Structure 1
């Protein structure tokens, strides 16, 4: 009898839990990855609107996340992107830096410049995580307020999220959940994160409870420096505490969208 590989063991565990086996898509480079993800996102939002009348997305920051938003904005003038009614798209964030609203470190600020202001998403549909100057004394208060906003939109639980996009750090962190951090074992939908190993040290992040309630979770990963963590997440059978990227999944689909460098340590 042949022995299962670690990757096959991961697939079996997901199947036993009733979760979808991850899809892996590899593009030749970061630029083509951003264009491919942008096209797929437009198609997914349009499909959600066809079914529900509206769509919802959770955005991520970082280089590849912002590049995707710029590509979506570039597509907005093309016929394939005109199928999305941007006035009926709810926008959320996976995490945010605890800095003032006009700080360039804010994921929200980058997303507005790259896409939201370009396509005209209404202010009432942009659900930004509170900034440090938004009237909350501590990030824990901001996290509780964002959790309340999520619950109000979802009739007491997380709202329907059609696509939740995540980046991943070289050590395997997603959103602002780092390996072996308190956030990795926190059961709340939104958590305050202190003493992050990368600056800025204080943040507000969705927890696994909110991330894993999304219909589709897309992990956007670019660069050779993240290849080891990609390989460990997809084939190592690790928990989300050890490697947070290994602990995220969608209820309908989990997609790893990689460039060739990030995929370089996956089995062929």
Structure 2
């Protein structure tokens, strides 16, 4: 499958608006068949404003189930929690019911048990996934050179990453590759080299392995 052409916008604000518009469209398209829709959210500085804009969208939100691409092993009210970021910027503004939200329980002492519990609630395939990318090319909590990147059987793993807090729960590559629609949102000059490597299909970078994803970035990240 050929990689969709990247979408480059001039500013971070435009990225926020375009990404929210794309996500709303992907959700509407899935909901059009009359069933439910699943979306997996990511954390990071870029996603918060996107979620705030998305929360202003008119949609049948009662038929959307919310999952997470990864989570730091911290309590849900911790500043580093991806759940907290989503809760503050998207879930609370929408008034989403608790039974629609499937949180990774990163605070559990038995991290492998937490990962297996999350595997048990994941749908067979996610409809929509929002991903970011680190300057090293990682996505979710799948880092370059890490053994978890080659996992093919498990759908969720507890991993140790190179950045604090080190312990994370993450969806594995088969889950990301099997999602129906994936959007990468990337902002900032520090991502420019990784973007270049992704676009030439350098699969040493985890982000490059999600080949059907739509990439949306600001000019700072895209360069020339």
Q: Shift in Å at residue 144 of structure 1?
A: 0.9
Gaps of 5+ in 2: none
Query: Alignment RMSD, CA only?
Result: 1.3
TM-score normalised according to structure 2 size: 0.95
TM-score normalised according to structure 1 size: 0.80
Q: Write the deviation string for residues 87-119 of structure 1: whole angstroms up to 9, x where unpaired.
A: 110111100000112211111011111011111
Q: Does the 8 Å CA contact 2:26/2:181 hold for their aligned counterparts?
A: no
Question: What pairs with 1:84-103 in structure 2 (closer than 5 Å)?
Answer: 84-103=59-78
Partner of 2:205: 243
Gaps of 5+ in 1: 1-18
Partner of 2:132: 167
- C-alpha distance in 2 between matches for 1:40 and 1:137: 37
State whether structure 2 residue 106 is matched by structure 1 residue 142.
no
Q: Does the 8 Å CA contact 2:46/2:187 hold for their aligned counterparts?
A: yes
Alignment equivalent of 1:72, drawn from 54, 58, 66 = 54
Q: Shift in Å at residue 20 of structure 1?
A: 4.1
Change in 2 beyond 3 A, CA 1:164/1:249: farther
Q: Shift in Å at residue 248 of structure 1?
A: 1.3
Alignment equivalent of 2:40, drawn from 58, 68, 77 = 58
Q: Shift in Å at residue 66 of structure 1?
A: 1.2
The number of residues matched between the two structures is: 223
- C-alpha distance in 1 between matches for 2:149 and 2:23: 27
- C-alpha distance in 2 between matches for 1:56 and 1:110: 18
Q: Shift in Å at residue 218 of structure 1?
A: 0.9
- C-alpha distance in 2 between matches for 1:249 and 1:90: 24
- C-alpha distance in 1 between matches for 2:2 and 2:102: 28
